[in-house]
Structure 1
Amino acid sequence: MIATDLDGTLLHDDKSVSARTVRALAAAEEAGVEVFFVTGRPTRWMGVVSEHVHRHGLAICANGAAVVDLHRGGETVRVRPLERADALTVVDALRAAAPGVCFAVERSGGVDHEPEYPQYALDPGGAVAPAEKLLAESAAERDGRTLSDGPVLKLLARHPDLDPDDFLALGRTHAGAHAEFTRSSPSALLEISAPGVSKASTLAQCCAERGIGPDEVVAFGDMPNDLEMLAWAGRSYAMANAHPAVLAATTDRTVSNEEDGVAVAIEELLAAPA
């Protein structure tokens, strides 16, 4: 199996997939190698690659919180949600530890956010309210607001001033017992999932169901949210543009996403003697 991240890895910076990469993915599947897209993106943002899947059609989204079937219009086939109690505990802890933090709540049907949190161009129209109300269970607690559909996949925490890696360390220190913390943005944006949920743990589940061991997996990534997956895979590639921690943790290197580094590595792997 090939397991590849998308942004900063498979995709060019303009979010396109090059013709060379499309050919390499098709060649891998022709050779009997499954290809899994493994991304922090929500399920709704998979249109960039949905036409480039072949036999299997499955993708791991939201850093492992959801598995979707791209052949069936992005239908969600597995969810590993962040429970409300854990999310609220994280919100309280980060408000105390990092004044100025603001939050968004990512669900399968959309993203809702606090007033201070920048709205995503790809997700207009979500509910706007304090995180405590966005995580509320009853209509009364929500003050009548209609929230996005589905379970909570990720809690997002943004800080205007902190260094991104320092913010990640702070989150893990103050609330790591209640959730998994990672990041994939160049800004101070934390992506917070249920305990035990990561790209690696969901990929391991999908591989086990197919009788594929970690020694049969080649993984590609560029940011801290890829680290567990890259460590789990038998062979791991860091993009030339990767975060220093990713460059230090991987077995192999390839050229940047702008230079089609995933395609270059796949071509070399397929050409190598068995």
Structure 2
Amino acid sequence: MTDASATPPEPVVPSRPTRLIATDLDGTLLRDDKTVSDRTIAALAAAEEAGIEVFFVTGRPARWMDVVSDHVHGHGLAICANGAAVVDLHRGRRIVEVSPLEHTVALDVVIALRAAAPGTSFAVERTGSFHHEPGYPPLHLDPTAIVAPAEKLLAEDFAAPSAPEDPGQPVLKLLAHHPDLDPDAFLTLAREAAGDLASFTRSSPTALLEISGPGVSKANTLARCCAERGISPSEVVAFGDMPNDIEMLTWAGTSYAMANAHPDVLAATTRRTASNNDDGVALVIERILHLR
């Protein structure tokens, strides 16, 4: 990671009109304490008042979107689980579109990673629940989760205790954790072992990989949502900080890496803004709207 205390250059305002702002949450819009600053809330509201749509584009599942639920204003749609779900925040975080990871493909990925990186443990993120293997670390565990081997968690007729009447909920993400490998090295190894089966990325500082269906990414889902609204890439301004943001940042006509961004994100973008703790997203929006 870069030194978040270093002062980035003043952000360059996009030369083309902006119709949509796409922003990651953790490490980008949210401060490290997972709050949204008053300055950022005001900037998002001002953008929408000016006719600019705001999309939250995150690796978080729908159930973790409470961090922005109080600040949605008109921006009611979010792209969650790295593009696997489109969520309506105005309707109780209801999932309105799913791009699932097929069960059989997920099982093939499990087999491939176990062979390539012994010691890997797995968790399964479904549309309405989260479950994990016994060796999976206590990162953000759900007390209602079923703890079992991945083969059971990925069964097509699997039903969570919280929703026994709804077996076979689609799988949004498979998560893979390794206790010893370097995070970037683990990502490279996984892509070499099973990159032809699924989409691999990461957003955690630990060796935790996020695995989606083939072709599923923040960028592809954002592109589809923009096309439905007649918005071109040149009219989109995007913000991010981790490898799971890179495709979105390179797709958008204008993109900004946070001062605290991963080196790969800094290498993939030309524009910089202040860190998440210094309201880097708000700073750019204010410049776009000539507020400061």
TM-score bucket of the superposed structures, by smaller chain: over 0.9
- Contact 1:5 1:38 (C-alpha < 8 Å) held by counterparts: yes
- Contact 1:127 1:147 (C-alpha < 8 Å) held by counterparts: no
Query: Can you list the C-alpha shifts for 1:138-189, whole angstroms capped at 9, x where unaligned?
Result: 46xx9xx748762100000000000000000011111011100000000000
Code of the residue aligned with 1:208 in structure 2: it is A
Q: Which of residues 218, 221, 233 in structure 2 aligns to 1:199? A: 218
Query: Can you list the C-alpha shifts for 1:12-67, whole angstroms capped at 9, x where unaligned?
Result: 00000000000000000011100000000011000000121122400000000000
User: What secondary structure does 1:91 align onto?
Assistant: helix
**Change in CA separation of 1:67 and 1:129 when aligned onto 2, cut-off 3 Å:** same
Matched-pair identity in %: 74
Code of the residue aligned with 2:267 in structure 1: it is A
- Give the alignment of 1:203-222 within 5 angstroms: 203-222=222-241
Normalised TM-score (structure 2): 0.89
User: What secondary structure does 2:90 align onto?
Assistant: helix
User: What secondary structure does 2:122 align onto?
Assistant: strand
The question of 1:249 aligning with 2:249 is answered: no
Normalised TM-score (structure 1): 0.95
Q: Distance in 1 between matches of 2:180 and 2:141?
A: 25
- Give the alignment of 1:125-144 within 5 angstroms: 125-138=144-157
Q: Distance in 2 between matches of 1:59 and 1:254?
A: 23
Q: Which of residues 142, 145, 148 in structure 2 aligns to 1:123? A: 142
The question of 1:175 aligning with 2:209 is answered: no
Q: Distance in 2 between matches of 1:210 and 1:251?
A: 27
Q: RMSD value over aligned CA atoms?
A: 1.5
- Contact 1:11 1:257 (C-alpha < 8 Å) held by counterparts: yes
Q: Distance in 2 between matches of 1:25 and 1:167?
A: 36
User: What secondary structure does 1:82 align onto?
Assistant: coil
Query: Can you list the C-alpha shifts for 1:115-150, whole angstroms capped at 9, x where unaligned?
Result: 0112454622201001011101246xx9xx748762
User: What secondary structure does 2:70 align onto?
Assistant: helix
Unaligned runs of 5+ in 1: none
User: What secondary structure does 2:184 align onto?
Assistant: helix
Query: Can you list the C-alpha shifts for 1:57-115, whole angstroms capped at 9, x where unaligned?
Result: 00000000000000001011000000011100000000000000000000111210000
Q: Distance in 2 between matches of 1:56 and 1:219?
A: 15
Partner of residue 39, structure 1: 58
Partner of residue 113, structure 2: 94
Q: Distance in 2 between matches of 1:60 and 1:235?
A: 19
Code of the residue aligned with 2:279 in structure 1: it is D
Q: Distance in 2 between matches of 1:98 and 1:212?
A: 42
Code of the residue aligned with 1:222 in structure 2: it is D
User: What secondary structure does 1:271 align onto?
Assistant: coil
Partner of residue 72, structure 2: 53
Q: Distance in 1 between matches of 2:109 and 2:243?
A: 20
Code of the residue aligned with 1:152 in structure 2: it is V
- Contact 1:112 1:147 (C-alpha < 8 Å) held by counterparts: no
Partner of residue 248, structure 2: 229
User: What secondary structure does 2:96 align onto?
Assistant: strand
Q: Distance in 2 between matches of 1:147 and 1:251?
A: 46
Query: Can you list the C-alpha shifts for 1:192-237, whole angstroms capped at 9, x where unaligned?
Result: 0000000000000000000000000000000000000000000000
Unaligned runs of 5+ in 2: 1-19
Q: Distance in 1 between matches of 2:82 and 2:32?
A: 20
Moved over 4 A (4+): 145-149
